[in-house]
Structure 1
């Protein structure tokens, strides 16, 4: 029988995994964070607790799909910014890897920046061993888009059809606004970014208005079991001013879910302070089931780092052609 077996890098607490499952793809995830590993194992997801740099395609010869979302700490606006400062060097490293040059992580100010190159190492090594991945699905913060474009150039040379872009997660049914840079590469014919299923959120535009061909975006009130309306006061200040904190009502999607979501205040209609989001609620705003088996420590950070399952499902479903039979 034809197999759709994945090896998932930087697998986190299971967001990408759930999306792959929805697309009929199962496999194994590699994750170094013990807290995310605890959640995955509590949820019954096959997991290897390891650094992805300690493994390679030869360890998973039956995998036909490569997926993952490298750590974003050096690229995100909320991080230290060293990765953003070195984007040109990262893109240059991508080109050199296409020429089969080895990249030393010490080339970068923070060696975590080099982790964004790991999926390409895996892809190229799989090609060189004669068992290329037939589908590659990657996502990261939008600042990494030009790195994915560099990947696309190199993978095209290797025979892949590739699509890259920045997607808005609320357009795939996620109850938050979040922008993610994505890459889809396939050896089984043309690929395209997934068509939106939901409308784009615009401040002040009611949920029922917009493109009639698309579903309304999903609000916090739609996603959560909270009986009364509420307003979320963001932990972040608009324009960098902590006194000018953003606000959204329960009739709108959440702000981007981060590891600091528990710092967001929740205010009732009469101005009273309400309980802040629980781990289960934060997970729901990221698109996880309400009963997801969160475990380990630092659960808000696990949730903030996760790929929204609905986005992953949309990415992995863009090609449905049979992959090669697993050996």
Structure 2
């Protein structure tokens, strides 16, 4: 590591693989834990530097294979949300088709088969290469166990789309066995399928989560929800009904309007809902970018008094209408990046940076959900009320801090993913 940033790595406990812009890291911050993320996407790294989040701009596999010694030894928590595109309903489905094969690879890795042979077999599947990344958390876990001077991770937290839940079940089975390369080290492990709106996220999103803890440190309690579920099968509504907006929600999930209104009132807020204001409230409805039931023309609709659809990297394509008359006239608004971030429960002033910011927002773990998961995994409790209340505003980060973190993450750029600084170098050459 470069000396200018050594103090930024003091006391770090959590390693976040595939860290993205920092959903789990933001959650860790508000719970009082320090983390470092590994992320290959340059744009997400720029957001992380601006937010003051320690980062290594690198490929997760390369770090494990040839740079493992750079990972702070203070880390005892491994967290990961491997890329989900190949498993996602919105993706090609390659991961779902390869699910049974991937289960076999998990067993083969723990059994101690030659990893080069396993990798060759994985490539021979001819599926989306990102499918194999779901095996990386297991490989990192075993790497720590087998490296002299390293202790096993005390806690493991994994998050993915719901289609991956069967793989987390296999992880849990093997982690509890202590067999093979686990060298007798056993974990208590549980997996859940979680609905984000049940944890105060103003969005319906289903995630498969695994939490494991060293067996000697005690079991894992239930992950208790805090809000009522949203009825996804509530029946069709006609946009011609002018009184729909007056229907109050009958449950305690958080609506889009409530989340955005509260964010807009905060000091220095980057969220402005004035374009949706009526005399007494904020009212709008959203038409999804995605079709439903196999019909691309059957776009779903959500009222402002309801949670948002799953926030994806294409959220900027959702059409937001102020009223039904404008819907007929095809006049619509778009959610801004800060607004999309708030629907993901990022702070209203989170410093989104770099390009593809919509994709960054959509790829992230909702920090509010992350707070519940990490708090349950590390403390066995829900986040404190004060911690949740404080999570709506991000602390200011100085330019010098961001620059120091960029040195840690990129250094002289020679060890960053190939081609990731191509644009930067060309600009430097043309500079006077």
Considering the TM-score relative to the shorter chain, is it more than 0.5?
Answer: yes
The equivalent residue for 1:209 is: 250
- TM-aligned CA deviation for residue 55 of structure 1: 1.5
The equivalent residue for 2:108 is: 96
CA distance in structure 2 between the partners assigned to 1:107 and 1:172 by the alignment:
40
Secondary structure in 2 aligned to 1:106? Answer: helix
After TM superposition, the runs of 4+ consecutive aligned structure 1 residues lying more than 6 A away are none
Matches within 5 A, 1:1-327: 5-56=13-64, 58-60=69-71, 61-101=73-113, 102=115, 103-104=118-119, 105-108=122-125, 109-129=127-147, 131-158=151-178, 159-187=186-214, 188-203=217-232, 204=234, 209-210=250-251, 216-225=252-261, 226=273, 227=277, 228-272=282-326, 273-320=331-378
Q: Does 90-99 or 261-270 show the bigger shift? A: 261-270
CA distance in structure 1 between the partners assigned to 2:254 and 2:375 by the alignment:
21
Q: TM-score, normalised by structure 1?
A: 0.92
Q: What 5-or-longer segments of structure 2 have no aligned partner?
A: 1-10, 179-185, 236-246, 262-272, 381-432
CA distance in structure 2 between the partners assigned to 1:319 and 1:235 by the alignment:
35
Secondary structure in 1 aligned to 2:192? Answer: strand
CA distance in structure 1 between the partners assigned to 2:256 and 2:15 by the alignment:
33
Secondary structure in 2 aligned to 1:127? Answer: helix
Change (3 A) 1:198 1:123: same
C-alpha contact 2:313 2:361 (8 A) present in aligned 1 = yes
C-alpha contact 2:249 2:305 (8 A) present in aligned 1 = no
Deviation sequence 1:286-326 (CA, Å, 0-9, x none): 1111111001111111111100001111111114459xxxx
Secondary structure in 2 aligned to 1:224? Answer: helix
- TM-aligned CA deviation for residue 208 of structure 1: 5.2
CA distance in structure 2 between the partners assigned to 1:24 and 1:196 by the alignment:
21
CA distance in structure 1 between the partners assigned to 2:289 and 2:35 by the alignment:
37
C-alpha contact 2:157 2:377 (8 A) present in aligned 1 = no
- TM-aligned CA deviation for residue 207 of structure 1: 6.3
Secondary structure in 2 aligned to 1:39? Answer: helix
Deviation sequence 1:74-132 (CA, Å, 0-9, x none): 11011111111100001111111111221304143222111010001001111223511
CA distance in structure 2 between the partners assigned to 1:254 and 1:200 by the alignment:
13
Aligned residues: 315
Q: What 5-or-longer segments of structure 1 have no aligned partner?
A: 211-215, 323-327
Secondary structure in 2 aligned to 1:233? Answer: strand
